[in-house]
Amino acid sequence: MRFKRVYIEITNACNLSCSFCIKNDRPIHSMTIEEFSHIISQVKPYTDYVYLHILGEPLSHPHLLAFLDICKDAKIKVNITTNGTLLRKKGEELCHPALRQLNVSLHSFSEHEQANYLNDVCTYSRLLAKHNIHINLRLWSLENGVLSKESKKLLEEVCAYFQVEKPAEIKRLKRFDLEKYIHLHFEEVFQWPSLKHPYVSDTGRCLGMKTMAGILSDGTLVPCCLDSKKECNLGNVFTTPLKDLLESERVKSICKGFDENRIEEELCKHCSYRLRFSKGKESF
């Protein structure tokens, strides 16, 4: 089994409380250096890329630089998703050979309106781009193909900063290049899956446990980056080797089901995001 990516939630604490986020209801925990090192040793045989995010703000973690060093030593490339509010504080640390890509959720801006936020994001985007790090400035606020009012204003300001014309076409998964290594990325608003949400179907496919997996801050293995509440708990990598978890009958059943257009897990039956994969595209 090989994954395109494994999501690692190094902390479930965040400095914002955005309306589009499902919010954390688990005990706050930030991984120790020992815990993170253990996880990297476990995932190394299965992937070349880790994404430091599920919930929480990864740039708030005090050991972020040490984590990047661990990944560099393991020859694993890192992607990070951030709200961007701490770039002025952590921007220099991110100029690291292990970092491949930084995703900045610009659509968080209306939730905090931090002074100099956009200027900081754009300034550090250019700094990181000089180190051949890709920057995805995300505007994941499309609703039926239309950007929110706040996102339209952000788009105008970002394009003005980089002195480019606004993109002529805006649609989900459309990438617009601002400069070399710096991109705008658009996506529709989505609903986080939950057993409390309406039943969707028991047929279909997804990439969970096929090309991706997630590990929460307490070590819980989940099938994808959207199971923030660990409602599909596949075991814990701190108590059971990842190899054993991946070879479990439950994981095999999930994968076989997706191969046969069948949904095995209850959480997946209540997930509307997986319907996007029917179009053969992904935006995780």
**Domain coverage including residue 263:** 212-277
Q: Are residues 217 and 182 in the same domain?
A: no
pLDDT at 56: 95
Q: Are residues 169 and 220 in the same domain?
A: no
pLDDT at 22: 82
Q: Are residues 268 and 130 in the same domain?
A: no
Q: Are residues 171 and 245 in the same domain?
A: no
104: domain CATH number is 3.20.20.70
Residues in the chain with pLDDT values less than 50: 280
Q: Are residues 158 and 216 in the same domain?
A: no
Sheet of 99-105: strand order equals 175-179, 182-188, 134-142, 99-105, 77-82, 49-52, 5-8, 212-215, 221-222
Tokens standing for residue 8: 């690692």
pLDDT at 284: 52
Q: CA-to-CA distance for 152 and 1, rounded, in angstroms?
A: 42
pLDDT at 108: 75
Q: Evaluate whether residue 207 is within a structural domain.
A: no
Q: Are residues 216 and 140 in the same domain?
A: no
Q: Are residues 132 and 273 in the same domain?
A: no
Nearest Cα to Cα of residue 217 among 202, 234, 237: 237
Phi and psi of 262, rounded to 5°? -130, 135
pLDDT at 206: 93
pLDDT at 110: 66
pLDDT at 157: 93
Q: Evaluate whether residue 200 is within a structural domain.
A: no
Q: Evaluate whether residue 11 is within a structural domain.
A: yes
Segment 118-160, tens digit of pLDDT: 999 999 999 999 999 999 999 988 888 898 888 888 899 999 9
pLDDT at 278: 61
Q: Are residues 144 and 16 in the same domain?
A: yes
- The number of distinct structural domains making up the chain is 2
pLDDT at 127: 97
